[in-house]
Structure 1
Amino acid sequence: MFKKVKQRKQEGRTVRKIVGFTSLAIILIIGIVAFAGYTYIQSALEPVDPEATTGIEVEIPIGSSLTTIAKILQENGIIKDAQIFKYYTKFKNESDFQAGNYTMTQSMTLDEIIESLKTGRVYREPVFTVTVPEGLTLEQIANVIEKNTEFTADEFMKKVTKPEFVESMIGTYPELITEDILNENIRFALEGYLYPATYSFYEENPSLEEIIKTMISQTEEVLKGYSALLEEKQMTVHELLTFASLLEEEATAQTDRETIASVFYNRLEIGMPLQTDPTVLYALGSHKDQVLYEDLKVENPYNTYVINGLPPGPIANAGKTSIEAVLNPTKTEYLYFLADKEGTNHFAKTYDEHLKNIDTYLR
Structure 2
Amino acid sequence: MSDSNEKPRNELYEERVSQARIVRKIVFFSLIGLVVLGIIIFISAYFYFKNTLGPVNASNPEEIQVTIPIGSTANQIGTILESEGLVRNGTIFRYYVRYKNESGFQAGEYNLATDMTMDDLIDALKEGRVLQEPELVFTVPEGRWLIDVAKIIAEETDHSEEEVMDVLTDKDYIESLINQYPMLTDEILNDELHYALEGYIFPARYDFIEKQPTIETIIEEMLKSTQSVLDEFASEVEQSEYTVHEILTLASIIEREAQKSEDRYKISGVLHNRLELEMKLQVDPTVSYAHWEHSYMTTYEMLKIDSPYNTYMYAGIPVGPIANPGKDSIKAALNPEETSALFFYARYGGDVIYTETLEEHSKVHQQYRDEWVEGQAAEEKQGD
Contact 2:106 2:126 in 1 (8 A): no
In the other structure, the counterpart of 1:178 is 185
Any residues of structure 2 matched to 1:201-216 within 5 Å, and which?
Answer: 201-216=208-223
Q: 1:351 aligns with which of 336, 351, 358?
A: 358
1:45: Cα distance to partner?
Answer: 3.6
Partners of 2:321 and 2:154 in 1: how far apart?
A: 23
Q: 2:176 aligns with which of 161, 164, 168?
A: 168
1:80 aligns with 2:84: no
Partners of 2:65 and 2:111 in 1: how far apart?
A: 10
1:229: Cα distance to partner?
Answer: 1.0
Partners of 2:308 and 2:127 in 1: how far apart?
A: 55
1:150 aligns with 2:158: yes
Cα distance change of structure 1 residues 313 and 41 upon mapping to structure 2, 3 Å threshold: farther
Instruction: Give SS of 1:287's match.
Output: coil
1:46 aligns with 2:54: no
1:293: Cα distance to partner?
Answer: 1.0
Partners of 2:303 and 2:63 in 1: how far apart?
A: 58
Contact 2:261 2:328 in 1 (8 A): no
Any residues of structure 2 matched to 1:244-255 within 5 Å, and which?
Answer: 244-253=251-260
In the other structure, the counterpart of 1:128 is 136
| Runs ≥4 residues deviating over 3 A | 40-45, 73-79, 81-85, 100-105, 111-119, 359-363
In the other structure, the counterpart of 2:381 is none
Partners of 1:127 and 1:118 in 2: how far apart?
A: 22
1:55: Cα distance to partner?
Answer: 1.7
**Mind listing any 5+ residue stretches in structure 1 that lack a counterpart?**
1-35, 58-72, 86-99
Question: Could you list the per-position Cα deviations for residues 69-115 of structure 1 after superposition, in whole angstroms to 9, with x for gaps in the alignment?
Answer: xxxx7896496279959xxxxxxxxxxxxxx985744xx32159999
Instruction: Give SS of 1:109's match.
Output: strand
Aligned residue identity for 1:47: T
**Mind listing any 5+ residue stretches in structure 2 that lack a counterpart?**
1-55, 88-101, 113-121, 371-384
Partners of 2:304 and 2:63 in 1: how far apart?
A: 60
In the other structure, the counterpart of 1:331 is 338
Aligned residue identity for 2:222: M
Partners of 1:75 and 1:211 in 2: how far apart?
A: 17
Cα distance change of structure 1 residues 47 and 277 upon mapping to structure 2, 3 Å threshold: same
In the other structure, the counterpart of 2:280 is 273
Contact 1:131 1:197 in 2 (8 A): yes
Instruction: Give SS of 1:281's match.
Output: helix
1:255: Cα distance to partner?
Answer: 5.8
Aligned residue identity for 2:199: G
Any residues of structure 2 matched to 1:1-363 within 5 Å, and which?
Answer: 45-47=65-67, 52=69, 55-56=71-72, 77=78, 80=81, 102=104, 104-105=106-107, 108-110=108-110, 122=130, 124-173=132-181, 175-253=182-260, 256-362=263-369
Partners of 1:286 and 1:135 in 2: how far apart?
A: 14
Give the TM-score, by structure 1 length. 0.72
RMSD: 3.2
1:116: Cα distance to partner?
Answer: 9.0
Q: Which moved more, 1:282-291 or 1:245-254?
A: 245-254
Contact 2:258 2:346 in 1 (8 A): no
1:37: Cα distance to partner?
Answer: 5.3
What is the identity percentage for the equivalent residue pairs of Structure 1 and Structure 2? 38
Cα distance change of structure 1 residues 245 and 74 upon mapping to structure 2, 3 Å threshold: closer
Partners of 2:331 and 2:64 in 1: how far apart?
A: 34
Cα distance change of structure 1 residues 75 and 180 upon mapping to structure 2, 3 Å threshold: closer
Partners of 1:196 and 1:177 in 2: how far apart?
A: 17
Contact 2:198 2:324 in 1 (8 A): yes
Partners of 1:103 and 1:78 in 2: how far apart?
A: 15
1:202: Cα distance to partner?
Answer: 0.7
Partners of 1:152 and 1:298 in 2: how far apart?
A: 32
Partners of 1:193 and 1:109 in 2: how far apart?
A: 30
Partners of 2:321 and 2:158 in 1: how far apart?
A: 28
1:238: Cα distance to partner?
Answer: 0.7
Cα distance change of structure 1 residues 319 and 285 upon mapping to structure 2, 3 Å threshold: same
Partners of 1:223 and 1:330 in 2: how far apart?
A: 20
Give the TM-score, by structure 2 length. 0.68
Cα distance change of structure 1 residues 169 and 263 upon mapping to structure 2, 3 Å threshold: same
